[in-house]
Structure 1
Amino acid sequence: MKPIKRIGIIGNGAVGMLMASLFEPDYTVTLYGRVDEASTVTIERTGVTDGTSIVRLCPVATLVETEQDVFFVTTKAHQVEAATERLSGDVPVFICSNGIAHLDHARTKGFHLGVVEHGVSRDGKRIHHTGLGRIRIGSFEPVEGIRFTASPLDVVWEADIEQVVTEKLFANAIINPITALCRVENGAVAMPPCRDIATAIYKELTTLFDRHVPYTYIETIIAKTAHNRSSMLRDIEAGRQTEVDAILTPLLKRADERGITLTVIPVLQKLILGASVSC
């Protein structure tokens, strides 16, 4: 594996801007987004890390694969296919979107996976880094791990990235819909009545996956992000499309394939879709 010197980040939302700003001191970083023309942007970062970084922002339509050594895709799951249409997989690509709707596309294209555990929100070109975590990356196939310079991003290579993705899906499927519908911070999921809904979702999730995710993992995520407002809640408040079709809808398909009857998750999926329409 040749040394990583140039990093392309597709998606200029909160996560993409956080990664760009923290990679920038050690790498040549290009941020790609839905913009009309290339420019230089100054990213202000506050919170658990603070600082200012200047990076290049280019239209994703002008992306040239060979100009980077690695790509991170940080778009919403429903944007992944369009965002990666200029990528062949010859240069390593890590899809860091929530849910599991993108897994088949990633596997088909030879892309890899990433899970972002940091908490971050965005206000224009200013981002608020609300919680430290890791960026956990890995591949479907046994390949040589990619290493990055140490930074607050804490990028780590995972031998079993599918287990990591499954764990993140459990957390998202429990925390996101509850907080979005109840309009509460993540910490409320640890207390009744939200906890009762959370454990009901968890029980249904365990019937859909052969991999084991202990409920203590969910409790740890809730505690670490107690004062965060979930991405699904922020999307509904802002009138944006949620990631319900990446997080909850694939669970319904999986249940059909396994001949499993769900009761809680289908109701949550319909409520989220209804809340999104009413925004």
Structure 2
Amino acid sequence: MQIGIIGSGAIGLLFAHYLGKHHEINVYTRRESGAQLLNERGMELTFNTESLTTSLKATAKPTYGEEVLFIAVKQYQLKPIVQKLKEMPRKTIIFLQNGIGHLEFFSELSKHELFVGIVEHGALKIDERTVCHTGVGVTKLAAVHGESYVHKVFENEDEYFLFKIENDFHELLMEKLIVNAAINPLTALLRCKNGALFKNKDYQLLMERIFKEVYCLFPFKKGEASLWNHVNSICKKTAENESSMLKDIKEGRPTEIDAIIGSLLEKAEKMKKAVPYLTFVYYAVKGLEQEN
């Protein structure tokens, strides 16, 4: 099967390696130089003590001709991609974004088969063609509408790269949102890896306060204790990871703070609920963005 992966960050390259074992992969990069490097030398994945090279195709031209597309870019990079996909024949499209900002695009892509996914692996991009698989997890997928091609994608799944189908895409996104909200802004502000949030009792207290504020905003199907255990589990699985928000702050890029925390503040305002910890991390990260 031909699969396109839009985005060559840590998650994009991680998917390219594992899906490339059984499918023809085309990675869409932002820069032509990155595409040329991947075409000439392939991508390299390091895992434990192994280093594995995967041959693939890459391009900076947004042709998006594949039957299945994984979108692995940041929320704020989605708009031109969506505009292009609106004009294209029916495809299977899987969104892998943090937050819930991409929900607004689903009505524009109603002719396509749409899925959302949350990735619970740890991955660290080393350079333009190298990614380190730092923590093994699972990718959970749920259909917004449609289901034909997605099952074929992981017919030959790898023991280190498992997929799980969930029934409720909204609940899946909320689960991802509460994890991102509890982990990402704090790591960006504290300049720490994910693992520090459960190793340091004071950091963990801050994470729990943020978690509780988010939990009170939505009617989660899972109980509070179960979800809190899930947040800590993800933190431990990705202990050696720097969150995408921390990397963005370090490298002077815009963050996804609006898609993750901004959406929660809007929800809290409508419900007339005070969320002081969420408010603080939102404006603190926005302040760091301005400094950059």
Please give the secondary structure, in 2, of the residue aligned with 1:121.
Answer: strand
Deviation at 1:9, TM superposition (A): 0.6
Q: 1:75 aligns with which of 73, 83, 86?
A: 73
2:258 matched to 1:245?
yes
Correspondence for 1:234? 247
State the distance in 1 between where 2:219 and 2:108 align: 22
Correspondence for 1:25? 21
More helix by proportion, 1 or 2? 2
Q: Which amino acid aligns with 1:181?
A: L
State the distance in 2 between where 1:60 and 1:155 align: 29
RMSD, aligned α-carbons: 2.0
Q: Which amino acid aligns with 2:125?
A: R
Q: Which amino acid aligns with 2:262?
A: T
Q: Which amino acid aligns with 1:81?
A: K
State the distance in 2 between where 1:28 and 1:255 align: 44
Identical aligned residues as a percent: 29
Q: Aligned in 2, Cα 1:269/1:17: closer, same or farther, shift over 3 Å?
A: same
Please give the secondary structure, in 2, of the residue aligned with 1:140.
Answer: strand
Q: Aligned in 2, Cα 1:99/1:163: closer, same or farther, shift over 3 Å?
A: same
Correspondence for 2:102? 102
User: Is contact 1:206-1:212 (8 Å) kept?
Assistant: no
State the distance in 1 between where 2:51 and 2:173 align: 28
Q: Aligned in 2, Cα 1:142/1:27: closer, same or farther, shift over 3 Å?
A: closer
User: Is contact 1:146-1:157 (8 Å) kept?
Assistant: no
Correspondence for 2:267? 254
Q: Which amino acid aligns with 1:29?
A: I
Q: Aligned in 2, Cα 1:107/1:215: closer, same or farther, shift over 3 Å?
A: farther
- Kindly report which structure 2 residues correspond to 1:196-211, keeping only aligned pairs within 5 A, or say none: 196-211=205-220
Please give the secondary structure, in 1, of the residue aligned with 2:249.
Answer: helix
Which 10-residue stretch deviates more, 117-126 or 212-221? 212-221
User: Is contact 2:121-2:237 (8 Å) kept?
Assistant: no
Deviation at 1:197, TM superposition (A): 1.1
Deviation at 1:203, TM superposition (A): 1.6
Correspondence for 2:45? 45
After TM superposition, which residue ranges in structure 1, 4 or more long, deviate above 6 angstroms? Answer: none
2:133 matched to 1:137?
no
User: Is contact 1:31-1:56 (8 Å) kept?
Assistant: yes
Q: Aligned in 2, Cα 1:105/1:116: closer, same or farther, shift over 3 Å?
A: same
Q: Aligned in 2, Cα 1:29/1:161: closer, same or farther, shift over 3 Å?
A: same
Deviation at 1:175, TM superposition (A): 0.8
Give unmatched runs, 5+ long, in structure 2: none
User: Is contact 2:124-2:241 (8 Å) kept?
Assistant: no
Residue by residue, what CA displacement relative to the aligned partner does 1:170-224 show, whole Å, maximum 9, x if unpaired?
1110111111111112122123211221121112111211114521111211222
- Kindly report which structure 2 residues correspond to 1:76-225, keeping only aligned pairs within 5 A, or say none: 76-88=74-86, 90-110=90-110, 111-124=114-127, 125-141=129-145, 143=147, 146-147=150-151, 148=154, 149-151=156-158, 152-190=160-198, 191-213=200-222, 214-225=227-238
Q: Which amino acid aligns with 2:137?
A: G
State the distance in 1 between where 2:21 and 2:47 align: 18
Please give the secondary structure, in 1, of the residue aligned with 2:83.
Answer: coil
Q: Which amino acid aligns with 1:28?
A: E
Please give the secondary structure, in 1, of the residue aligned with 2:212.
Answer: helix
State the distance in 2 between where 1:242 and 1:175 align: 14
Deviation at 1:113, TM superposition (A): 0.8
State the distance in 2 between where 1:267 and 1:28 align: 45
Aligned residues: 272
Residue by residue, what CA displacement relative to the aligned partner does 1:40-84 show, whole Å, maximum 9, x if unpaired?
1510110246410121111243x14xx312100000111112223
Deviation at 1:260, TM superposition (A): 2.1
Q: Which amino acid aligns with 2:26?
A: T
State the distance in 1 between where 2:274 and 2:206 align: 17
State the distance in 2 between where 1:106 and 1:16 align: 21
State the distance in 2 between where 1:215 and 1:22 align: 30
